[in-house]
Amino acid sequence: MFKIAVMGCGVVGSGVADILLEKKEELSTRFKDEVALGAILDIRDFTGTPYEAYTTGNADEIFANPDIKLVVMTIGGLDLPYQLSKRALESGRHVVTSNKEVVAAYGKELTKLAFDNGVQFLYEASAGGGIPVIRPMNICLSSNDIYEIQGILNGTTNYILTKMKEDKMSFADALALAQKKGFAEANPTADVDGHDACRKIAILSSIAYGAFVDYKDVPCKGIRDVSYEDLALADKAGFAIKLIGSSKNTKQGVVISVEPLLLDKSHMLSGVSSVFNSVLVKGTYTGDVMFYGKGAGKLATASAVMGDIIEILCGTNPKVLPGYAENDAKVISDSEGMSRYYIRIKINGDVESTEVRQVAKSIFGEEGKIILPDNEAPSYMAVVTGYVSEKNLDAKKVELEKTLSVTCENIIRVEG
Amino acid sequence: MFKIAVMGCGVVGSGVADILLEKKEELSTRFKDEVALGAILDIRDFTGTPYEAYTTGNADEIFANPDIKLVVMTIGGLDLPYQLSKRALESGRHVVTSNKEVVAAYGKELTKLAFDNGVQFLYEASAGGGIPVIRPMNICLSSNDIYEIQGILNGTTNYILTKMKEDKMSFADALALAQKKGFAEANPTADVDGHDACRKIAILSSIAYGAFVDYKDVPCKGIRDVSYEDLALADKAGFAIKLIGSSKNTKQGVVISVEPLLLDKSHMLSGVSSVFNSVLVKGTYTGDVMFYGKGAGKLATASAVMGDIIEILCGTNPKVLPGYAENDAKVISDSEGMSRYYIRIKINGDVESTEVRQVAKSIFGEEGKIILPDNEAPSYMAVVTGYVSEKNLDAKKVELEKTLSVTCENIIRVEG
C-alpha cells in the first residue's frame, strides 16, 4: 500500500491527481503494490469533481493516515508549504515538490531532513518544469565534473521575446498578450524581472556543483529593457536575444547570473522559442548536453512530479547526503572577465550617423562591429564590441557619449 | 566491495577504465563501499599503461572472482560479447554495455535473463552515446504514454551532411574527410547506409512503447543519394536535410524508419549539426522533450556507461520485467499515409525550365512549391509537393517524366 497525498490542488496538483487516477492500475502493476491517490489537502470545494472523495481541509487527517507514504507538495507560496513539507519528512514520508520558492530557500535543510529520516525530498519539477534535467544530472552525468550551465529557464519571458521578434511588438504589448493567453500573471515581476529564473539557476547549480547556491546572491536582470529594435539589430548581426540563467564553477567560486544575452545563432539555445525551456550542461567527460521541453503547464509539470514519485517507487536509496546539503557555494563576481557587448546607440538630431560610425569605430576598434537598421537616416544603431572588461566598457561608453551627442540606450552582453 | 570488470579495452572500454581509476575515491565515498576497477579482459598487451595490473586474457579468471559485481561489456561485434554478457548475468553479475548490435539483437533475452537472476542489464550508451535518454524515458517520462520519437542518431552522417552543406562538398569528399578525421570507418556502410541509426531507433522504440522492435523490420535508407544541390535547394525553401530515425506508436502497430528527411528550420532537430546527436520524444503529458549531446567519442560514451553503473550503485530495483522483454512490437508500413515530398528534377537539354515549371505546377497543383537554384539557366530544380500518398506521388512522378524530357533524380520526404 503506497498512497500519495497531494497538498494543494491547483494547476500542478490537480494534474498530478489526474495522472494518479488515470494510471493507478498501471503503476500498481509496475511496482507490485497498490500505488494510488490517497488524499488531497485543499480548502476549496471540489463537490462534483473526481477530487471530491479525496479532499480534506485538515492536514492532521492526512498525517494520521499510515498508508500515506508520500506527499506531493504543490501549495504555492513559502511558509505553509515549507512547514507542511517539514512535517511530512519528520513523519517519515517522502516529499516531492514543484515549488521552486521552497526549494531555493529551504532545499538544503529539507534534503538533510529527508536523509536523516530515511526518506527522499525530490523536486525535478522545480527547475525546468516538464524537462528531465535534475535526475539526468544526478545519475546519468554524475561521473562528470559539471563546470557550466546555461538555461532558458522561464517560459513567460521566452514567449514575450519570441512574440516581440516575430510580430514586431513592443515589450508592453507582448507582455499584455502573454497575460491574455495565461502565460504571464497579472503581476509579472517574478517572470519578467528574472526572479523565477534566478531561483532555478540557483537550484540547478547547487546540484551540479555540490554546494548550495543562495538564490539571493544571484545578480539578476530581466527583459524590461529589451526592445524590438534590439531583437532586430541582433538578428541582423547573427544573434538571438534570450533571457539566460548561467553559472560557471571556477576554482575561486561560482560565477552566476540571470540576464538577457546575445546568443550566436549556432548556439543550441538560440533556437528555443515560445514557452519552451532548455538547459545546456557542460561536463568534463560528456561535453555539451542539452535538455529541452515545456518549462511549465499543468500536465508537463505534473509529469516531472510523477518522475520523482516513480524514482522513489524504484527504490533508489542515497547512501550519503548530496554535497549541496552540506556545503555552501561561494558566489563571486566576474567583473574582471572579458566579454563582448551589444550597445544600442540613440543618435540625437544633430549628429550624422556616418560620423557616429567613425567615432564608434575609433573607440571600439577594428573588432567593433556596427549594425545599422534597414531604414534610411536611422535615429539609432548598434555596436557589437570585441572582448573588453566591464570597467573598460564603461570608459568607452563615457567617451562615446562625451565625444558625440548620442546616448547608449541599452547594453546587453554577448554569450561566449 | 564492488569491483567492476571492463571487457574489451578499446575506445569506450579504456574510457570507462580511465574514469573508474580517476573517480575511485569519489565513488567509494558516495556509495560507502569500495567501488573500483577490478579487472580488464583484453588479449592485447598493455605493458607500461595504467591498465597493465588489471589485464587478463582469460575470462574464467574474472568469473572466478567473487568481488566482481558488474561487467562493462565494451567488446565489439556480436557473438563473443553476447556470450560473455549471458555468462555474466547467469553468474549473478550486472551487465552494462555500449554495444548496440548486442542490445538490438539480444536486448530482449538479456533483459529477461538479468531479471531472472536478480541483476540488471543496462545500455544507456547504446543509443545516443553520451546523451542521457534511456534513463529519462524509463523514469522521468515514464508516467507518459510516449507516442513518437525522432532522432539524429548517427554522428558520422550528421557530420557529413553538415560539411557538405557548409563547405559545398560532394558526399564522396565529405565522407573522405570524415574518414580522415576518424569520424567514419574505412568501411562506412554501417553509418552512411543507416544501419547504425536503425539499431538505435529500434532500441529506443522498444523501451518507449514497451514492445520489442526488431531492427531487421525497420525500413532503412542512408544518405548516399543526398547531394550538395539538395542541401542548398532545401535551405532556400527553409529546410535542413537530416538523417532521421523515427517511429510512431499507433493502434495498428509501430510505424518506424530511418531515412533522410527535410526538416523545417523551426524544427528543433534542424539546428543539430556536426557530430552531435539529438533525440526528440513526444509524450502525452509532457509534449515535446528533446535530449542533445555527443553521440559518440571515448569519454562521452564512457560517461553514459558510468551513468548506468551509478544507477545500479543507487540500488534501483525493477519489480517487474519491462514490457519489451515480454512483448513483440508489430511493425507496420504507412504507405497510405500522406506526406509532402521534395523532388529534385534534372532538366535535360531540350526543355526550357520555365516550361518545366509550368508543367510541374499543373501536376503538383497550387500547393507544390518550386525551388530554383541561384545560377542562370539551371539544369535542375526542385519541387516541394503538398500532401500526397506514396502511390499518388509515384503517379505524379511518372506523369512528369512522361510529359517532359526530365528525370526525377532524388526524392526526399518532408517531416510533418
Mean pLDDT confidence for B165-176: 97
Confidence band (pLDDT; 50, 70, 90) for B296? Answer: confident
**Residue A19 to residues A125, A154, B147, B400, Cα–Cα distance (Å):** 15, 24, 17, 52
Lowest mean pLDDT among A247-261, A338-352, B144-158: A338-352
Confidence band (pLDDT; 50, 70, 90) for B167? Answer: very high
Q: How many CA atoms lie within 13 A of B308 on its CB side?
A: 29
Residue A377 clears pLDDT 80, i.e. is over it: no
Cβ atoms B133, B108 nearer than 8 A: no
- The residue of chain B nearest to residue A12, with distances taken between CA atoms, is B285
Confidence band (pLDDT; 50, 70, 90) for A350? Answer: low
Q: Which of B3, B100, B200, B294 is catalytic?
A: B200
The reply to whether residue A287 touches residue B300, judged by beta carbons under 8 angstroms, is: yes
Q: What does the pLDDT look like over B28-78, one tens digit per residue?
A: 999 999 999 999 999 999 999 999 999 999 999 999 999 999 999 999 999
The reply to whether residue B310 touches residue A143, judged by beta carbons under 8 angstroms, is: yes
A200 is catalytic: yes
Q: What does the pLDDT look like over A195-234, one tens digit per residue?
A: 999 999 999 999 999 999 999 999 999 999 999 999 999 9
Q: What does the pLDDT look like over A46-88, one tens digit per residue?
A: 999 999 999 999 999 999 999 999 999 999 999 999 999 999 9
Shortest CA gap B101–chain A (Å): 22
Of A285, A309, A320, the CB nearest to B303: A285
Q: What does the pLDDT look like over B203-260, one tens digit per residue?
A: 999 999 999 999 999 999 999 999 999 999 999 999 999 999 999 999 999 999 999 9
Residue A186 clears pLDDT 70, i.e. is over it: yes
Higher pLDDT, B50 or A355: B50
The reply to whether residue B136 touches residue A132, judged by beta carbons under 8 angstroms, is: yes
* B28: exposed, middle or buried (Cβ count in 10 Å: 0-12, 13-18, 19+): middle
Q: What does the pLDDT look like over B82-112, one tens digit per residue?
A: 999 999 999 999 999 999 999 999 999 999 9
Q: How many CB pairs under 8 A join A and B?
A: 184
The reply to whether residue B143 touches residue A303, judged by beta carbons under 8 angstroms, is: yes
